[in-house]
Chain A
């Protein structure tokens, strides 16, 4: 049918995965029919999902073996509970024995699931350590961020631990959600209902300009697929090596410089002004135009 191409932002986790990897290649681990659901949600009389909001499996992507996890942002905001977190951690453990070409994490999460917050917090710290173990074994872990919940809380940290981060401009990445900041610090600090402002603080074009997202793509599943394939090809030739002292001292210097340069910044426009001749036009630019201008600036 002559509609739009399939939006990554709007698709469910299962749809994203099925369109991202080679057709029919997904084999799911701990699939919904195992009904590994959250007893904690049940205890609080909240609705359950048969996969606890995350799909984990193996697939091929342009012929390469990958392990994949996709969080369902529409189920409890993609939040991490005990089972949900254990599935992602188990997938990363599996990578150590199965040695795929890459692990893809389709992150769409507000962070810890409040209904089982303690379990979620520990689970995320386990995922963080597992991501590092997988990378230390020479297997890249790619984060794809383009869903309605973005990547926040602990999953925002996990995203930044990944080898590469692919974002769409609709994707958002941060630590504390704007609503939390507004609730605690007041609307003057952060007006969470000003969606354009929220986007300028957390959105894909800001994260790409800061270099935190390594690729910015259109909000289309095939665009994410193309990006993932290109990363796989690149890392197949040069597997990741764990960060050494010099590299981390370099990052330290870079972040110190960022903090100093933008010591008073409170809006993405101030970051863009550093790179783009017409910073005010950045929000209106197409992804292609944005990438060209960013490339020229670099």
Chain B
């Protein structure tokens, strides 16, 4: 497994997130994302644990785009990945974000 942590600047999520949500399943070509509240409101902290080695640059690009696309400051994301393609990762990130907002709405 390869592990790394990124802290990405992002606008603060408008709502107050208090509970955790989990999205996705760890299976071949798939991943799970645990979204939790974090202390820093102007950044999103993301821990990635992936079975696919050597794709850190792609992960960083995908996650940076995500942090730019949505206001996710104040969230902490923990990812368990079993070799998902960037398309699946992006889709799951958006789903995790929408689920997390949906639970608040």
Contacts and interface: CB of A to CB of B under 8 A. Distances in A.
Nearest to A24: B103
Contact of B20 (A31, A72, A75): A31
A47 B25 contact: no
Interface string B10-24: 000000000010101
A32 B22 contact: yes
Nearest to A34: B20
A42 B1 CA distance: 9
Nearest to B22: A32
Nearest to B20: A33
A188 interface: no
A33 B36 CA distance: 8
Contacts of A12: 24-25
B82 interface: yes
A77 to B, nearest CB: 9
Given A31-B20, A72-B25, A74-B27, A48 B34 contact: no
Chain A: number of interface residues, binned into ranges: 10 to 19
B51 interface: yes
B98 to A, nearest CB: 15
A111 B46 CA distance: 33
A47 B51 contact: yes
Interface in A16-62: 31-33, 42, 45-51
A190 B51 CA distance: 34
A32 B26 CA distance: 13
Nearest to A48: B80
Contacts of A45: 1
Given A14-B22, A51-B22, A33 B34 contact: yes
Contact of B25 (A31, A33, A42, A75): A75
A10 to B, nearest CB: 11
Given A47-B81, A50-B78, A74 B25 contact: yes
B26 A47 contact: yes
Nearest to B23: A14
B49 A48 contact: yes
B30 interface: yes
Contacts of B22: 14, 32, 50-51
B81 A50 contact: no
Interface in A144-184: none
A47 B82 contact: yes
B20 A32 contact: yes
Nearest to B78: A50
B96 to A, nearest CB: 12
Nearest to A77: B27
A50 B1 contact: no
A48 B80 CA distance: 6
B84 to A, nearest CB: 11
Nearest to A55: B22
A95 to B, nearest CB: 24
Contacts of A42: 1
A235 B23 CA distance: 35
A49 B1 contact: no
Contacts of A33: 20, 34, 36
Interface of A: 12-14, 31-33, 42, 45-51, 72, 74-75
Given A32-B20, A32-B34, A33-B36, 5 more contacts: A33-B20, A46-B51, A47-B81, A48-B49, A49-B32
Interface of B: 1, 20, 22, 24-27, 30, 32, 34, 36, 49, 51, 78, 80-82
8 contacts: A33-B20, A33-B34, A48-B26, A49-B80, A50-B80, A72-B25, A74-B27, A75-B26
